[in-house]
Amino acid sequence: MTADTTTPTPVASGTTGEPALKVDSLWKIFGNRSDKIIGTSDADLSRKDLQEKTGCVLAVKDVSFEVAPGEVFVVMGLSGSGKSTLVRCLTRLIEPTSGSVVLNGEEVTSANEGQLRELRRKQVAMVFQHFGLLPHRQVIENIAFGLEVRGDDRTSRRRRAQEMVDLVGLSGYERSYPDQLSGGMQQRVGLARALAADPAILMFDEPFSALDPLIRRDMQNEVIRLHKEVGKTMVFITHDLAEALKLGDRILIMRDGEVVQVGRPDEVVGAPADDYVKDFVSDVPKSHVLTLKWVMRPARPGESDSGPALQCDTIVRDAARDVLAANGPVRVLDGDKVVGMVDDQDILRVVVAEEGTS
Amino acid sequence: MTVQVLARPVNKEAEPPTERAKNRHTMPLLGAVIVVWVVGWLIFRNHDTLVLSFQQQTDFHKWINDLRDNIQASAQHNWFFHGVIGKITTFFNWLVEQIQHLFSLPAFPRPVPQVGWLGVLVLLGWVGYAVAGARSAILVLVTVFLFGILGAWQDSVDTLIITLIAVAICVIIGLPLGIAMARNKLVSTLVTPVLDTMQTMPAFAYLAPLALIFGIGASSAVVCTLIYALPPLVRITEHGIRSVPATTLEAAGSLGVTKRQLLRQVQIPMAKRTIVVGINQCTMAALSMATIAAFVSSPGLGQDVEQALQNLDVGGSAVYGFAIVIIAIMLDRTTTAASERSEKQSAARVASVGGPGVMLVTVVLEHLPRWASEETKGRRPLPSKAFRRGILGIGLVVVAISIWLSRQYLSLASFPKSLDFGTDISNKVSDFSDWFVNLAEPVTNAFKNVVTYGLLNPLQSLLGESPFWLIAPVILALALILGGWRALAVSVVCEAIIFGTGLWHDTMVTLTMTLVATVLVMLVAVVLGVSMGRSRRADTIIRPVLDTFQTIPPFVYLVPALALFGPTRFTAIVAAIAYGVPIATKLVADGIRGVAPTTVEAARASGITRWQMIRKVQLPMAREALLLSTNQGILYVLSMVVIGGLVGGGSLGYIVVSGFSQDQLFGKGLAAGIAITALGVMLDRIARYTAARHGRA
């Protein structure tokens, strides 16, 4: 948080090792008697076959993952892949059909209405694609809204809202109404509103899809900056791979409601789980994502004793200048240990391959 | 307003306002005005209240009486009254009489009409099939047969005649006018304010001036029904033509259509369904006015109800009231079915226009009142054209035979007495009503007392016992605070007119009843509307009830209210509430439903309770709908409060009614009509400008 808010995030203190969010075999099927499907052989059917057979629409199929405290976890998929349904199931804005969601050790899926409300008020906050602002309230009142509904007193929620205004760079617009702001600024209000409650987890549902590309880049940088400043756990939904690679510590790729792959950006690009993902990442400038680990070759005997060295998680683009400037192969280290070598050829292969495809 | 707020430097130390800046000043100012009022009332109570006793008349009233006498005396010589108005009057009277002789009145030298009851029955059934299909035809047959059973054959047919003549003329005038307004901005700017005024004027108010010009009788009835029913048709026609999307017009334009082709082949076909809905609205308005026109001696059921009400005969008024209700249902269902049909018929054409066309139909559907489309669920395929033509042809033969039969046999010409149960039903209803009223008395009395002592009496003494020089500025101040300068300007003019009519005190009494009823209407409307807006199930249960209530002409509401509460001013208030609630509730419900789902979801995500959702999100966001609903509620209530003068409501409404029946009170009655109009316009404009200032976020 900002300097004057010292509230520690509950997860970061103490309970290391325990995930901030744990999702276990979560299902969501829309339609009548959809709860009867899970566990039967129908559950193995593809989305299309299931709809033909039962009339039910499969949105989320047996999804499990964990998010570590402070991590930015991106869920990526095309429209209709079930990602927006998934994120709504996490706070039960949509009621999941089965499975469990545990948030900071608290079972969301079995919470009663009161507990669920408490959870939404204090633990999780969401940022929406279409902002969901209240047109009849000023910016500052919109930001303070979550605090107001949970019963914070006027002075403290005003102070808090003002801090958030400053944090997201909206100073001077406190008294404006949402319709007087541009799309990017409206989403900043949405962001500030989510941050105001000081939640343990922030969820973003395609927050920047409705914005034009330049504003979108600004807002992505804003999220990166905020993540550095406040260190929240974030679950980020997007259909934009570049955005996913840019923001995500880890990325979950969904298709037709199912998980296709979960991994770090370089894993997704370097080792796509199947053709679907491979096709997806084919346009990505690999040198911007892959680390040396993905391009190095095993060291030949005697090579690894001396000469320039780089860490194995250095991104290829950042390593290129050093490697090309070196007179021979460069050692790749994992901590102190030599794990491989890269030379000009290895670097150029990645960069030139890109030139070829683009 | 908000721009100023934006420009103000932000001072973080100062306590920031929670409400919008403009509202911050509104509440204390309102409070201050009311405090001044109450203090003034305490000091100057019962001074200068301008009470005018019932038989007292001012010079203005006498002047109107003289004017009337002059007009009547000089009518034979004056070219305008003799040449123009006289011709119109004679024409309408002649037209109505001819049709009456055809269907309802004995046609000399015959002791019965040209067409007997069987002929009328089958003919109307055939018309029902032709415009709206088999189900409507059955409804029409049953309804028309019931006219006879209820013992109200002739009056029911007369009411239908007046209504349908007015609708026919409305269509002849209204359709071209609506189309012209949609295509020409100038026409629209010129005609819209006229329509506004016509719709704001309570029906009661223009009966007297029309009676002055067109005399008492069928002619006045047709003209006032026409005036009342025309605006909705024109408005909806204009809306329908205008709603054809610009992309479609552009696409048509790129194909090089002429203006005429555009109108005939794109705009009218695409607006057809909307236009038929306009005819439906027009028909319902015409029916309600045709019953109220009883006060200018329109033939038909209205007179029966009026007389029964004045004699406090619950049973009699119930029978005739019921006849009006079944006519209303028949006309509503038939025209609604006709509009659905026109949609199905034009479906193919619209589809060929392409995507935007289909979208238009959907858009229009969503903007129409729900009852217009409720039967579309059980949609069936239309019978083939050849089949329909065959049925229509056979039907025509049956109609001819029936008419011939009804001319041959007396029992088929005038409805047989043995089937007439009117008196029996009337007696049964009276007995039942006596029993029920006794049973319900503790409840109704409690309700009556709470409203009377809690709301009505305090407000009445505040409004009625304050000196006029205190209330006048108080109302102006309230108008200014709520609605701004334009509301103030309108209020000044309206107050001057009310003062000029010499009926200041009676107007204040009417205002009291209007305000009390409006408050109660809004209480009910918000409760019902919020539950409908939030729950599909509540909506499906409540909406059809409201729909039915809305088709009932206002006159009929007085019957049950009279039975329950006797002839008091409270009866008028109860009827006004029943009349105002449906429209107000629907507007609130639509407003609540109109709140963006993304906002509702975002609010839910912040852990909001149900009550907080209603109070902090849905109601504030539906503010515009709430204000609009209040506006409509006031107008509906006012028109009903005035009609309630008939059953003990007193004040302006009673004066208007007396003006029709007592010769020497004509001038005072007309003045009361003017006062009602001024009051209505003032309330409407204050509400409207308030909505404009405070409605939008």
Kindly indicate whether the domain formed by B87-114+150-382 is annotated with CATH number 2.60.120.260: no
Q: Which residues of chain A have pLDDT under 50?
A: 1-15, 358
Interface of B with A (CB under 8 A): 2, 5-6, 8, 10, 12, 15-16, 18, 20-21, 596, 598-609, 612, 616-617, 620-621, 623, 697
**Which SS3 state, helix, strand or coil, does residue A109 take?**
coil
- Note the pLDDT of residue B369: 38
Of A131, A140, A146, the CB nearest to B606: A146
Question: CA-to-CA distance for B511 and B518, rounded, in angstroms?
Answer: 10
Per-residue confidence band for B23, with pLDDT thresholds at 50, 70 and 90: low
Q: Please, is B362 exposed, middle or buried when counting C-beta atoms within 10 Å of its C-beta (0-12, 13-18, 19+)?
A: exposed
Nearest residue on chain B to A126, alpha-carbon basis: B605
Assess whether pLDDT exceeds 80 at residue B266: no
Residue from A138, A180, A185 whose CB has the most chain B CBs within 10 Å, to mutate: A138
Question: Cα–Cα distance between A313 and A164 in angstroms, integer?
Answer: 35
Q: Which of B22, B606, B615 to mutate to test the interface with A (most CBs of A within 10 A)?
A: B606
CA A228 → CA A15, A222, A223, B469, distances in Å? 21, 10, 9, 68
What confidence category does residue B255 fall into, taking pLDDT thresholds of 50, 70 and 90?
low
Which residue did the predictor score with more confidence, B372 or A28? A28
**Dist CA B420 CA B418 (whole Å):** 6
Site from A175, A189, A191, A206 to mutate, B interface, most B CB atoms within 10 angstroms: A175
Give the Cα separation of B319 and B427 in Å (integer). Answer: 10
Residue B372, pLDDT above cutoff 50: no
pLDDT tens column, B192-223: 888 887 777 777 777 877 887 887 888 888 98
| A106 in reach of chain B (CB within 8 A) | no
Q: Do A121 and B6 touch (CB under 8 A)?
A: no
What pLDDT sits at residue B210? 82
Distance from CA of B12 to the nearest CA of A (A): 8
Q: Is the pLDDT confidence value at B170 over 90?
A: yes
DSSP A9: P
B616·A145 Cβ contact <8 A? yes
Alpha helices in B594-621 (DSSP H): 597-605, 610-612, 619-621
A158 touches chain B (CB under 8 A): yes
Q: Do A175 and B5 touch (CB under 8 A)?
A: yes
The amino acid present at B101, given as its one-letter code, is: H
pLDDT at B19: 38
The answer to whether B10 contacts A125, with C-beta atoms less than 8 Å apart, is no
**Which pLDDT score, from 0 to 100, does residue B345 have?**
52
Is-cis flag, bond preceding B16, omega within 30?
Answer: no
- Which CATH number applies to B17-40+58-65+426-696? 1.10.3720.10
- pLDDT tops 60 at residue B615: yes
Nearest chain A residue to B611, by CA: A149
Give the length of chain B.
697
Grade residue B253 by pLDDT with cuts at 50, 70 and 90: low
What's the CA gap between B572 and B565, in Å, rounded?
Answer: 9
> Of all helices (H) and strands (E), which one includes residue A65?
strand A57-67
Closest CA to B598 of A175, A274, A190: A190
A121 at interface of B, judged by CB pairs closer than 8 A:
yes
* pLDDT confidence of residue B57: 80
Find out whether B19 and A197 touch, Cβ atoms under 8 Å: no
Mean of pLDDT over chain B:
80
ipTM of the complex: 0.71
Q: What percent of chain B has pLDDT over 90?
A: 10
**Average pLDDT of span B277-303:** 86
- The one-character DSSP state at A174 is T
B530-589: pLDDT as tens digits:
999 888 888 888 888 888 787 777 778 888 888 888 888 888 888 899 889 998 998 898
Out of B10, B598, B609, whose CB is closest to A128?
Answer: B598
Chain A residues with CB inside 8 Å of B15's CB?
158
Q: How far apart are the first and last CA of chain A?
A: 41
Contact status of A172 with chain B (Cβ, < 8 Å): yes
Of A122, A141, A150, which is closest to B18 when you measure between CB atoms? A141
Neighbouring-strand partners of residue A23: A65, A101
Pair type for strands A98-103 and A72-76? unpaired
CB atoms A134 and B621 under 8 Å:
yes
Residue A253 has what pLDDT?
Answer: 92
How close is the nearest chain A Cα to the Cα of B280, in Å? 36
- Fold match between domain B17-40+58-65+426-696 and domain B87-114+150-382: yes
Q: Find how far residue B335's CA is from the centre of its chain.
A: 17
Minimal-distance CA residue of chain A relative to B15: A155
Distance of CA B424 to the CA centre of its chain: 32
Model confidence at B9: pLDDT above 60: no
pLDDT at B356 over 50: no
- What is the pLDDT, as a whole number, of residue A69? 92
B337-340 long-range contacts (CB < 8 A, ≥24 apart) are B337/B132, B337/B133, B337/B135, B337/B136, B337/B375, B338/B131, B338/B132, B338/B136, B338/B276, B338/B279, B338/B280, B339/B273, B339/B276, B339/B277, B339/B279, B339/B280, B339/B372, B340/B273, B340/B373, B340/B375, B340/B376, B340/B379
Which distant-in-sequence residues (6+ apart) come within 8 Å of A312 by Cβ? A291, A292, A293, A296, A332, A333, A334, A339, A340
Contacts of A132 in chain B (CB under 8 A): 596, 598-603
Cβ of B602 within 8 Å of Cβ of A177? The answer is: no
Mean pLDDT of B244-271: 73
Domain residue ranges of chain B, discontinuous segments joined by +: 17-40+58-65+426-696, 87-114+150-382
How confident is the model at residue A66, as a pLDDT?
A: 93
User: pLDDT (tens digit, 9 = 90+) per residue, A204-255?
Assistant: 998 888 888 888 888 899 889 889 888 889 999 999 888 998 899 999 999 8
**For residue B132, is pLDDT > 90?**
no
Contacts of B16 (CB under 8 A, 6+ apart): A140, A158, A174, A175
Per-residue pLDDT at B257? 65
Closest residue on chain B to A203 (Cα): B605
**Is the CB of B606 less than 8 angstroms away from the CB of A197?**
yes
Dihedral angle over CA of B550, B554, B559, B561, nearest 10: 80
**CA distances (Å), A246 to each of A20, A28, A41, A220, in order?**
22, 29, 39, 8
Which pLDDT belongs to residue A6? 38
Phi, psi (deg, nearest 5) at residue B120? -60, -45
**Scanning every residue of chain B, which has its alpha carbon at the shortest distance from the alpha carbon of A154?**
B18
Q: What distance in Å separates residue B347's CA from the closest CA in chain A?
A: 29
**Contact indicator for B365, B375 with CB cutoff of 8 Å:** no
Residue B74 has pLDDT above 80, yes or no: no
Name the residue among B21, B596, B607 with its Cβ closest to that of A117: B607
Among residues of chain B, what percentage have pLDDT more than 70? 87
Confidence (pLDDT) at B344: 57
Confidence of residue B3 (pLDDT cuts 50, 70, 90): very low
Secondary element (H or E) of residue B328: helix B314-353
Q: Which residue has the higher pLDDT, A347 or B77?
A: A347
Cβ–Cβ below 8 Å for A125 and B609: no
Q: Is A29 helix (H, G, I), strand (E, B) or coil?
A: strand
Residue of A nearest to B619 (CA): A136
